[in-house]
Amino acid sequence: MTIETRAVETPAIETPAIGTLAAANGLALETRGLCKSFGALTVADQINFRLERGARQALIGPNGAGKTTFVELVTGGLRPSAGQIVIDGADVTDLPQAVRVKRGLARTFQITALFRRLTTLE
């Protein structure tokens, strides 16, 4: 599996601190040898990724390249078969998704209206 990342230059925007992610300097996120297998099928193999604090990167690739799997691994939606996930210098590999959310790490969906025919009240 090949995941390509590209640095994206954007203007600095002041935002309020969210959880512990905004508190430290240096690396915000790092994965080391991250792997995911479903039985004999390996869908993510040895992903080493670093995101510096304040940097913005795009994760791009064709369908089936593993982008969603990678995001699910980092955010806790999937448990890795091997490897390590480090947020703000702390190993969060074995932390449940709810704890990662409390630390300020979550994902959003590309299509935000999951129930298009229902109102908020419904």
Higher-pLDDT residue of 82, 64: 82
If one counts every other C-beta atom within 10 angstroms of the C-beta of residue 105, the result is 23
Of 6-15, 31-40, 79-88, the one with minimum mean pLDDT is 6-15
Q: Residue 9 — very low, low, confident or very high, per pLDDT cuts 50/70/90?
A: low
Measured CA to CA, the distance from residue 84 to residue 102 in angstroms comes to 19
| CA-to-CA separations, 83 to 38, 65, 94, 114, 122, in angstroms, rounded | 15, 19, 11, 32, 42
Query: Are 118 and 55 spatial neighbours (Cβ–Cβ below 8 Å)?
Result: no
- How confident is the model over 27-72, as pLDDT tens digits? 889 999 999 999 999 999 999 999 998 888 888 999 989 999 999 9
Q: Which CATH number fits domain 4-102: 3.20.20.70, 3.40.50.800, 3.40.50.300, 3.40.50.1360?
A: 3.40.50.300
pTM above 0.75, yes or no: no
Contacts of 26 by beta carbon, 8 Å cutoff, 6+ apart: 52, 53, 89
Domain ranges of the chain: 4-102
Q: Residue 15 — very low, low, confident or very high, per pLDDT cuts 50/70/90?
A: very low
Contacts of 44 by beta carbon, 8 Å cutoff, 6+ apart: 1, 34, 35, 36, 66, 69, 70, 73, 80
